[in-house]
Amino acid sequence: MKQKNKIYYIILILTTLIGMWVLPTLVKKITYKPDSYPFVYYSCMLNDLCFIEYSNKKTPMQDTKGNIYTTSQFDSLMPMLNFRQLMSDGRLPDSIKGIAIEPRIIRSKMVNYKYSPNETATPQIGLYILFEAMPKRVGIEMPDDVFRIKDKIEFINTGTNSVNKEKSKLFQAAMDKEGYTFPTQWASGNLNPRKPYDEGYFCLDAKGELYHLKMVNERPYLKNTHISDSIDIAHFAMLEVADKRFYGFLYSKTGEMYIIENEGGGYKTVKLDIDPINLQQDQIILMGNIFDWTVSVITPESKKCYGLDAASLKRIAEHDIDRTPGKWDKVSKWIFPAYITIESKSSDYLLPAFHFTAFTALLINFLLALGIGLFVQNTTRKRLFNFTFVLITGIAGFVALLILPGLRKKY
């Protein structure tokens, strides 16, 4: 009998845990809608952040002061965003703020970048493609090998699946000479062969030193940036911009965001004047032009919008948009004080996790526990167990007791 009791309680706990995952998942599918925020862009004409709703054909734009603008006004007040439309209409100005405006210049200064937590939460595969930084022909050609750089650098021919010993030895010698310390923590580059040029990879070695690695005329180029002398580096995202002003975006472990500028062959960091971000939770959408950058940071609680001067990256405007709670938020805090998820927004991998919503759901737990304790006939000891179990586990435990046989029996 004791063995039977143990099996029953084990099955009860497992059924409850499954219920804490399945029941909230079903309710969430019915009630959940993704957070919706307006599109925000800084206007160099109004010197203000503006909200844009493209579905509104008559008055698509509004500034932070509440002024509403027509479609024609929207095009003129957002010349960097709508320059193609202005060109088509013959309304593109010759100059703005004393700077000559040409489509070629506008395109060369455009910056578009997105960050999502799965960039840092998803493990790297450990195989990378190193393009030729100075190709003999126009465009970037796909090499016939890949490389790995964990405990040493090795190039592997993709056709024969064999190590290119000569090339591997050449690059390993260059890394040893420069003082690179293995094992490598991570390597970050842009694998897209359609980019305008290649800047290779930025690699963080075992000592936390950030190195720049690329291949020039089939020979290794490796240089210590010495950025880690002043910044505790967490993550880097490569972005080969058209004007070659900077290499990409650097994040510190305290959440500051920088660009690494190309300064005469050296490496200079410039901090973006925004509040520190949480790399594990926050998303970033950045859109830049010749005059200003618009940075939107989406957190679990709000969307923080910043206008930055393009040259100095200093803050010139900011605005916060609070998140509006959805049906799932309202329902979950009443019926699920705790639940389990298997998937995570911050990773492409399965990450089981417990979530706690609000103590208000304990009221429902208490009512269910009271009902099962008072109205289901059983021994006093079993009633007390059922009451306590449902009070702690809520609807999931209540359903588990109903599903399993023996609710009214003595165990």
pLDDT for 187-212, tens place per residue? 999 998 888 899 999 999 999 999 99
Distance CA 373, CA 42 (A): 60
- 98-to-104, 111, 310 alpha-carbon distances in Å: 17, 21, 15
Range of the domain at 149: 111-288
pLDDT for 250-293, tens place per residue? 999 999 999 999 887 789 999 999 999 999 999 999 999 999 99
Residues 126 and 275 grouped into a single domain:
yes
pTM, two decimals, is 0.86
Residues 249 and 396 grouped into a single domain:
no
The terminus-to-terminus CA distance of the chain in angstroms comes to: 8
In a domain, 29, yes or no: yes
Put residue 179 in one of left, alpha, beta given phi > 0 → left and psi -120 to 50 → alpha: left
Token match 């293995």: residue? Answer: 182
Distance CA 223, CA 363 (A): 62
- 229-to-176, 187, 208, 238, 276 alpha-carbon distances in Å: 20, 19, 9, 20, 20
Listed residue (143, 163, 151, 144) closest to 126, CA to CA = 151
Q: Coil, strand, or helix at residue 386?
A: helix
Residue 174 exposed, middle or buried by CB count within 10 Å (0-12, 13-18, 19+): middle
Give the pLDDT confidence score for residue 136 in this predicted structure.
79
Q: Are 265 and 248 in contact (CB under 8 A)?
A: no
Residue ranges in 32-164 assigned as alpha helix (H): 71-77, 83-89, 103-108, 118-121
Residue 338 exposed, middle or buried by CB count within 10 Å (0-12, 13-18, 19+): middle
Residues 70 and 142 grouped into a single domain:
no
Domain boundary among 63, 82, 107: 107
Q: Is the pLDDT of residue 409 over 70?
A: no
Q: Are 272 and 258 in contact (CB under 8 A)?
A: yes
In a domain, 313, yes or no: no
Higher pLDDT, 376 or 326: 326
- 384-to-165, 321, 389 alpha-carbon distances in Å: 71, 48, 8
Residues 115 and 103 grouped into a single domain:
no
pLDDT for 102-147, tens place per residue? 989 999 999 999 999 989 887 888 999 999 998 877 778 899 999 9
Report the share of the chain in percent with pLDDT over 90.
65
Give the pLDDT confidence score for residue 162 in this predicted structure.
96
Tokens at 31, concatenated? 């009630």
Lowest mean pLDDT among 2-11, 274-283, 313-322: 2-11
Number of domains in the chain: 3
Looking at residues 239-250, what average pLDDT do you find?
94
Residues 276 and 348 grouped into a single domain:
no
* DSSP β-ladder status, 338-343 and 315-322: unpaired
Q: Is the pLDDT of residue 411 over 50?
A: no
Q: Are 43 and 63 in contact (CB under 8 A)?
A: yes
Lowest mean pLDDT among 61-65, 120-124, 236-240, 287-291: 120-124
In a domain, 319, yes or no: no
Give the pLDDT confidence score for residue 176 in this predicted structure.
97
Residues 338 and 390 grouped into a single domain:
yes
Lowest mean pLDDT among 46-50, 288-292, 359-363: 359-363
Give the pLDDT confidence score for residue 382 in this predicted structure.
82
Domain boundary among 225, 257, 288: 288
Strands (DSSP E) contained in 171-279 are 186-189, 201-204, 210-216, 219-224, 233-238, 246-252, 257-263, 266-271
Looking at residues 311-315, what average pLDDT do you find?
98
In a domain, 315, yes or no: no
Residues 160 and 65 grouped into a single domain:
no
Q: How confident is the model at residue 353 (pLDDT cuts 50, 70, 90)?
A: confident
Considering Cα of 330, then 333, then 335, then 339, what sign does the dihedral take? positive
Listed residue (155, 164, 202, 204) closest to 180, CA to CA = 204
Distance CA 409, CA 379 (A): 8
In a domain, 94, yes or no: yes
CA 101, 102, 103, 104: dihedral to nearest 10 degrees? Answer: -120
Q: Are 303 and 282 in contact (CB under 8 A)?
A: no
Residues 64 and 166 grouped into a single domain:
no
Residues 96 and 131 grouped into a single domain:
no
Q: Are 188 and 202 in contact (CB under 8 A)?
A: yes
Tokens at 106, concatenated? 């506008």
Beta bridge partners of 96: 99
Chain-wide mean pLDDT for the chain? Answer: 91
Token match 């842009």: residue? Answer: 190
Q: What H or E segment, with its residue span, contains residue 178?
A: helix 165-178
Residues 63 and 23 grouped into a single domain:
no
Strands (DSSP E) contained in 57-144 are 61-63, 68-69, 95-96, 99-100, 111-115
Residues 171 and 260 grouped into a single domain:
yes
The CA radius of gyration of the chain, in Å to the nearest whole number, is 29
Residues 256 and 127 grouped into a single domain:
yes
Distance CA 72, CA 63 (A): 15
Domain boundary among 230, 261, 288: 288
Higher pLDDT, 352 or 290: 290
Give the pLDDT confidence score for residue 117 in this predicted structure.
92
Lowest mean pLDDT among 123-132, 242-251, 396-405: 396-405
Q: How confident is the model at residue 298 (pLDDT cuts 50, 70, 90)?
A: very high
Considering Cα of 379, then 380, then 384, then 390, what sign does the dihedral take? positive
